[in-house]
Amino acid sequence: MNLTIIGAGAWGTALAITFAPRHRTVLWTREDDVTRTMLSERENRRFFPGYSLPESLIIADDFDSAISSADLVILATPLVGFRASVRRLRASHRAKPVLWVCKGFEADTAKLPHQIVAEELGPDALYGALTGPSFAEEVAKGLPTAVTLAANNADFARRSALELHSPRLRIYANDDLAGVEVGGAVKNVMAIATGICDGLGFGHNARAALMTRGLAEIARLGVALGGQAATFMGLAGMGDLVLTCTGDLSRNRRVGLALATGKKLPEILADLGHVAEGVSTAREVARLARELGIDMPITQAVDAILHADVPAWDAVDALLSRDPKSENGL
């Protein structure tokens, strides 16, 4: 298969390292300095240092030539630049099947990536999300990983999953595109919450309770947006939640840990040096939950801490003061 990966951040680079030995793989990024460094040093020193690029990986410096022979395009750009990337694909006048690895809701519109792609590429396009419990660093190292590939066409999902699947990167086809995207987006908010919980020293009991109730919030929103309840017990639901809430490589968890110390968000993000999608997602999900009348108290607490400057301890205290409810009602 001829693959083109758009975006050379951590994820784009990790996927390029993973797929290049088995597929003709082209990597393109808009950052000219990154392109030059990758060509001369065979390493992405800016966004993914310490990992050598396979000699077979083609580093492209022109967008149109990068996608001209692609059988499949993988968008590995942050969500903030996702719509612009899709529009650039459309402007190229080449109808290419497309997958993406970003997670979240678009700022101001609260739209999921598949809704953006449907708007920009039209009803005949083939598209899907590659998502699930995975850190870029571990994928690049070849450590065992299992993810989900959900698409708007079941046959496309199966064929793409089969082509990209390997013993170390196991890919399972899925037809619940809305569900896997909600799971992948909202788990980042819960990872910030868990980081705050751990940073405040509340212990393992509290973390387990928070993650469990967080999964209930994810499922409530996901079902309301057309997802299947079973999806949230799978890789893109519980699996991704567990990894992001407990793994030390999680950027969103690190944001929460820093918030618990009293650091301000701009300083935290500057120190992080990478995008933490949960920061913008919290605002959009909290607003969407209010509009739909969905009870999401953890999400609302995280949004208040991030965007209303509510101290972490005050937000947690408000959560703990809520009246108890029936668990079976989620």
Q: How many domains are contained in the chain?
A: 2
Q: Could you tell me the residue range of the domain that residue 52 belongs to?
A: 2-175
For residue 329, being part of any structural domain is answered with: no
Q: In the structure, what pLDDT confidence band is assigned to residue 58 with cuts at 50, 70 and 90?
A: very high
Query: Within this chain, do residues 6 and 151 fall inside the same structural domain, yes or no?
Result: yes
Domain boundary among 132, 153, 175: 175
**328 occurs within a structural domain:** no
- Of 54 and 324, which is predicted with more confidence? 54
Q: Is 103 a catalytic residue?
A: no
Domain final position from 113, 143, 175:
175
Contact call for residues 243 and 146 (beta carbons, < 8 A): no
Look at residue 320 in the predicted model and tell me its pLDDT: 83
Same domain, 163 and 228: no
Does 159 share its domain with 185?
Answer: no
User: What is the CATH classification number for the domain harbouring 220?
Assistant: 1.10.1040.10
Residues 208, 291: one domain?
yes
pLDDT of residue 123: 87
184 and 156 within one domain: no
265-273 CB contacts, 8 Å cutoff, 24+ apart: 265/306
Note whether 102 and 79 are within 8 A (CB): yes
Per-residue pLDDT, 329: 59
- Whether 45 maps to a domain, the answer reads yes
CA-to-CA separations, 187 to 27, 162, 193, 242, 316, in angstroms, rounded = 28, 27, 10, 9, 18
Per the CB < 8 A criterion, the answer to whether 42 and 52 are in contact is yes
pLDDT digits 0-9 by tens, 163-197: 999 999 999 999 999 999 999 999 999 999 999 99
The answer as to whether 51 is a domain residue is: yes
| pLDDT tens figures, 2-29 | 999 999 999 999 999 999 999 999 999 9
Question: Of 115, 148, 175, which residue sits at a domain end?
Answer: 175
Token representation of residue 19: 């797929």
Residue 161 CA to residue 102 CA, distance in Å, equals 18
Of 96 and 92, the structure prediction assigns the larger pLDDT to: 96
Catalytic residue selected from 103, 187, 263, 264: 187
Helix residue spans in the chain (DSSP H): 10-19, 32-41, 63-68, 82-91, 113-121, 136-140, 154-164, 177-199, 203-224, 240-246, 251-260, 265-272, 277-292, 297-307, 312-320
Reduced 3-state DSSP string for 9-56: CHHHHHHHHHHCCCCEEEEECCCHHHHHHHHHHCEECCCEEEEECCCC
pTM of the model: 0.94
Percentage of the residues of the chain whose pLDDT score is greater than 70 = 98
SS3 of residue 153 by DSSP: coil
Tokens of 125: 């396009």
Structure confidence by residue, pLDDT tens digits, 252-294 = 999 999 999 999 999 999 998 777 889 999 999 999 999 999 9
94-152 per-position pLDDT tens digit: 779 999 999 999 988 999 999 999 999 998 999 999 999 999 999 999 999 999 999 99
Q: Is residue 104 located within the same domain as residue 16?
A: yes
